[in-house]
A = this chain, B = another copy of it.
Amino acid sequence: MSIPSKDSITAAHERIKSYIHRTPVMTSASVDEMAGCHLFFKCENFQKVGAFKARGAMNAALKLSPEQRVKGVATHSSGNHAQALARAAKILGIKSFIVMPRTAPEIKKRGVRGYGGEIFECEPTLAARESTLAEVVKKTGATEIHPFNNYDVMEGQATCAKELFEEVPDLDYIIAPVGGGGLLSGTALATKYFSPKTIVIAGEPALANDAFRSMQSGKIEPASPSTSIADGLLTSLGDKTFPIIYENVKEIITVTDEEIIAAMQIIWERLKIIIETSCAVPFAAVMKDKSKFASKKVGIIFSGGNVDLNKVGKLFS
């Protein structure tokens, strides 16, 4: 595996096309007016499993050799990648082994089981997740598909920005959220290859600003434990994602949890669509730094829409 090229991203897009949605690009005159620019929202909240993760997991699974397929795939994830990988495995008729912290929401576990994934519970620490996954891989011979630090996964995530550029060819900016950096590095590569004049920016929670700090220091700064509500963005960057981000992303804008909630509320109320907290971060960045984007054409990747509605009341009250 090597850094995805223009051709390999195009090939990945062909490979996964029939297994994913080509998600719509939404616009809103009233949100544009509030933001002072022209916004194009690429709605991966409408993607299979409710998030862009369906792309990367599907691409990685489809690239397995016949020998690898026999033994299945494995990962550790408490979130959308777990379901995305279990779904990809189900489509291919192969096994999936998912290590999840025992504290993961029951609804996520049900989702994985619904796709026939086998769950291995562990303590909710990174060390426990990694050691449990190592055991599972040793026992089963399954291929590990990392949620983001994997070029095949990155290649799949890159197809999202590629689709957006096909629909809106002259964007001044494209903004993605950053956690481990799979979506952001894929977005950065797709921009470099398919829309090189577009400037890539990332949005990150201020309470989990390790990517921002990494851009300053020039090396991967590990994420500290964080209470940010953007719970999909609390991971450290990986050694495959960071160099691509460092080279191709112009700026990381950090936003507070209050700004994230305000942004999310605008999207729910104006666009009438459900986006998750992590997904609201890039739009929050635009609203925070309006002068930068004034009158520009700005693409925003809406990463996902998996929300626990039982907790929504607390956010908006």
Chain A residues with a Cβ under 8 A of chain B: 24, 45-46, 50, 265, 268-269, 272-275, 305, 307, 309-310, 312-314, 316-317
Which one of B45, B272, B274, B312 lies within 8 Å of A316 (CB-CB)?
Answer: B312
| Chain B residues, CB < 8 A from A275 | 272
Number of copies: 2
A194 CB, min distance to chain B CBs, angstroms: 26
A107 CB, min distance to chain B CBs, angstroms: 9
Give Cα A265–Cα B248 distance, bound, in whole angstroms.
Answer: 40
Known contacts A50-B272, A268-B307, A313-B316, then 12 further A-B pairs from the complex at CB < 8 Å, ordered by chain A residue: A45-B272, A265-B309, A268-B274, A269-B307, A272-B274, A272-B275, A272-B305, A273-B274, A310-B316, A310-B317, A312-B312, A313-B317
A-B contact pairs, 11 of them (CB 8 A): A45-B272, A265-B309, A268-B274, A268-B307, A272-B305, A273-B273, A309-B316, A310-B317, A312-B313, A313-B313, A313-B317
Which one of B45, B272, B305, B312 lies within 8 Å of A46 (CB-CB)?
Answer: B272
| Chain B residues, CB < 8 A from A307 | 268-269
Give Cα A51–Cα B5 distance, bound, in whole angstroms.
Answer: 45
Which one of B45, B50, B268, B313 lies within 8 Å of A314 (CB-CB)?
Answer: B313
Give Cα A307–Cα B268 distance, bound, in whole angstroms.
Answer: 9
A8 CB, min distance to chain B CBs, angstroms: 29
| Chain B residues, CB < 8 A from A273 | 272-274
A203 CB, min distance to chain B CBs, angstroms: 20
Write the chain B residue with the least CB distance to A50: B272
A111 CB, min distance to chain B CBs, angstroms: 11
